[in-house]
Amino acid sequence: ININPPKKHNKKGKDLKIIIVGDSGTGKTSFVNKYIHNKFAETYSPTIGTAFEYKIIKINDIIYRLQFWDIAGQDRNPEITGIFCKNTNGIILCCEVNKYQTKENTIKWKESIEKVIDIKDIPIIMIENKCDLLGKDEDEYNKDISELKNFAENNNINKCFRTSALNGYGVEESILFLVNQIVGAPEQNPEQNEVKRD
């Protein structure tokens, strides 16, 4: 279902466009749904076409209208269209915690975005979703976190997050981080410079 792109400037606030990509089944639609509606649906219904949702937030007295563009249908095959990426302000790469291949594939998704737009100045986060499925001890968990940091550094990603669309872990935090990177409001998140690109 293709919804017309909204107008660039809107009475309701500044539009920020965020695209979310990653393999099918990693939880992209669930993640956006959790953030926007604070809901999680167990039933699996693959998104058809491009899904579009938005949420209004306020940072430093400025109102933003966050638009989330959810790649779908073609998400078994990392091919991205220019229309999907056009004028995007931020990128979310999504993978699934227990499926290593989906993590490797986030880089393929990133590369396919780079084929159609210049991402040099566009903040990118990676989310390792479904972290509720992990039953790990603390040492192992911390080791994984440092691996995530390396992954971000090696791949020019601003920061990687563990998230769960099921219980909400990391959902708000990761999106606020991304938005702060986009609008440049460091006081909102003192940790934002933890992992730097370049």
Buried b (16+ CB within 10 A) or exposed e, 142-181: eebeeebeebbeeeebbbbbbbbbbebbbbeebbbbbbbb
Q: Residue 89, interface with ligand GDP (CB under 6 A)?
A: no
- Residue 50 contact partner, candidates ligand GDP, Mg ion, none, CB within 5 to 8 A by sort of partner: none
What span, in angstroms and rounded, lies between the C-alpha atoms of 41 and 34?
A: 9
Q: Residue 74, interface with Mg ion (CB under 5 A)?
A: no
Tokens 């409001």 locate to 185
What span, in angstroms and rounded, lies between the C-alpha atoms of 15 and 28?
A: 21
Three-class SS state of 2 = coil
Specify the amino acid at residue 135: G
Binding marks (x or -) toward Mg ion, 32..71, rule CB under 5 A?
---------------x------------------------
- Segment interacting with Mg ion, rule: CB under 5 A, options 10-18, 27-35, 126-134, 155-163: 27-35
- Segment interacting with ligand GDP, rule: CB under 6 A, options 24-32, 58-66, 99-107, 115-123: 24-32
In this chain, which of 22, 26, 27, 29 binds Mg ion, going by CB under 5 A? Answer: 29
What span, in angstroms and rounded, lies between the C-alpha atoms of 119 and 14?
A: 21
Please say whether the beta carbons of 187 and 179 come within 8 A. Answer: no
Binding marks (x or -) toward ligand GDP, 110..149, rule CB under 6 A?
-------------------xx-xx----------------
Q: From residue 147, give the alpha-carbon distance in Å to each of 22, 111, 137, 187, 196.
A: 19, 21, 16, 27, 15
- Residue 44 contact partner, candidates Mg ion, ligand GDP, none, CB within 5 to 8 A by sort of partner: ligand GDP
Q: Residue 74, interface with ligand GDP (CB under 6 A)?
A: no
User: Which residues contribute to the site for Mg ion (CB under 5 A)?
Assistant: 29, 47, 72
User: Which residues contribute to the site for ligand GDP (CB under 6 A)?
Assistant: 24-30, 42, 44, 46-47, 75, 129-130, 132-133, 164-166
